Amino acid sequence: MRTTWLGEGLSGLIDLLLPLRCAGCDAAGTAWCRGCSRELGGLRYVERPLLDPGLPVYALGRYRGAARRAVLAYKESGRRYLAGPLARHLAVGLRAISAEHRLDHAWWLVPAPSRAIASRRRGGAHMTRIAHRTAAELAASGCPAAVADCLVTARGAADSTGLDAAERVRNLSGRVLVRTGRLPPPGAQVALIDDVITTAATVASAVRVLAAAGVGVAAVLSLTATAG
């Protein structure tokens, strides 16, 4: 615990000491510039063989260029202050999904699960932090929102980098687990949020285990998605 606290403190201090530069294009004086914001300003429908075509699954941008650099800077390089700008994009996307699909504007956000070991290395579950910021953004714009941090990836799930779709499903099958004490309340309108959709194996497993626990997912929104 002490190491985590120290890590959090050091990372916060380093954030303060480094001159601010855009995570997408390195422009000075901003964490995420207006030009790069456009890379996460869309709402693209994501189709994957593993996904139920009836489920609205969207990404705000392609996993390339500035958007990819921002996701990696947040997730892997400890630039936690990017949680705010990235959450604002997700909040805009969720409001657009509500309008597009005539859904309620109140959301329960379920962050995609991280592997425990990766969370420890990163000083906390990175999507959980973004989910809380997104809920705050939504609430500030008059859309009630809450977070149900109810998914974990069990020990045994290997890093999925470099695996193909079938291998990812095998890797994750049975390893995305529900923490039943943290489920959203019955009847809640649930959005699963993620940072990057590649094969969608994580999303598909998460939707399946939530359904088994009696929780339907109304929409999935990812910051980015790969080309296919």
Q: Which is nearer to Zn ion, 22 or 90 (CB)?
A: 22
Q: Give strand pairing partners of 107.
A: 145
Contacts with Zn ion by CB under 5 A lie at 22, 24-25, 27, 33, 36
Q: Least distance from C-beta 38 to Zn ion, angstroms? A: 10
- What residue spans of 63-222 are helical by DSSP H? 65-75, 83-100, 116-122, 126-140, 165-172, 201-212
Alpha-carbon Rg for the chain in angstroms: 17
Q: Which is nearer to Zn ion, 31 or 135 (CB)?
A: 31
Q: Beta strands 190-197 and 176-178: pairing type?
A: unpaired
Q: Least distance from C-beta 41 to Zn ion, angstroms? A: 13
Q: Which is nearer to Zn ion, 22 or 206 (CB)?
A: 22
Q: Least distance from C-beta 31 to Zn ion, angstroms? A: 9
d(CA 111, CA 195): 9
Q: Least distance from C-beta 129 to Zn ion, angstroms? A: 22
Q: Which is nearer to Zn ion, 48 or 69 (CB)?
A: 69
How far is C-alpha 57 from the chain's CA centre?
Answer: 13
